[in-house]
Chains A and B, each alone.
Chain A
Amino acid sequence: MEATHQEFKHCDMLSVKGRVDSSTAPQFTRALEAMLDKGRYKIVVDMSELDYVSSAGFRALLAAQRTCKRYNRGEVVLSGVAPRIREALELAGFNELFKTFDDSIAAVGHF
């Protein structure tokens, strides 16, 4: 897994590439926490180059969403979610917890 962070005026974007499983989820969590530690709570997680996510990745997203939505200070949204990943997110009932956008431009524009 590779995670690249970009800071925009109204939000931050984390572009995730490769695979997130129990082995790489801690790295994903650290990348998310690095943004939260800087007080950045409006976050786009771009998944357009992500091939695979297990429930370990869902857990990392959930923790970040909880922190961001506290005091209504922000939220985590997802962009470029591949169909297979979307299906797994839906099975887990996560589609109700995260707004999703077709691409990162639309997701950044949301904030």
Chain B
Amino acid sequence: MNQSVGHNTKKIALALSLFVLSSVALAQKSSTDSIAEYRAMLQDGNPADLFEAKGEDLWKKARGPKNVSLEKCDLGKGAGVVKGAWVELPRFFSDTNRVQDLESRLVTCMQDLQGLNAEEINKTPFGKGEQANLTALATWISAESKGMKFNLPQGHIEERKMYEAGKRLFFMRSGPHDFACATCHSQDDKRIRLQDLPNLTKNPGAGNGFGAWPAYRVSNGQMWSAQLRLNDCYRQQRFPYPLFGSDATIALGVFMGVNGKGGEATAPAIKR
């Protein structure tokens, strides 16, 4: 009897240890491989498609107080040229005398061409009103450069100054946690929890990381623009709130984009 109890206990112990082992294996699968599988599965039907369609429609539609479309907007390659514009942004624009990223440039066009109020758009929270339209526009415009290689211009001195300022901001440790962008994004093959971190100081990380946004975020079902991506990085860095289209955010875009030269544009990507 004692022997049989002992035998049963052994059996239970064995079953339990197998269960523990298999659940560890399952957990390992669910936490790493499955994320990749899930993303691959979603690539077939990236919800970003819907934002792309909305963005294209917004580009062509007469809107705003002046009731005109954005089809004459100069994104850097001449009025109305969309294809290939995104892989050369941010860049210097002589009419505004500023280096601008895609989103801040679109705001300029919405004001100049359509008569919308740039200051109001800049102050609108992400995902609301004209900001939601802006994200859709950025999604479509970036998609029009999908598969192209990053080639940000550095010919103008303001573009080179922005690169240097962006580099300094990238490495700027501050706030209660002493975090810089570089704390998480200046080494190869590192993770936060299970999330892989691109090294944004060089390729392939810079091209992969910078080149993926706007992206559709599965975890919250939202389309995130590059500005929102940076905004949330700064939140997690425990910094104050970066102003929409501010020079610091654009300088960081120049730093990452130039580092990503030759990398492939994958936006609009799909993220966890």
Do A and B interact with each other, yes or no? no
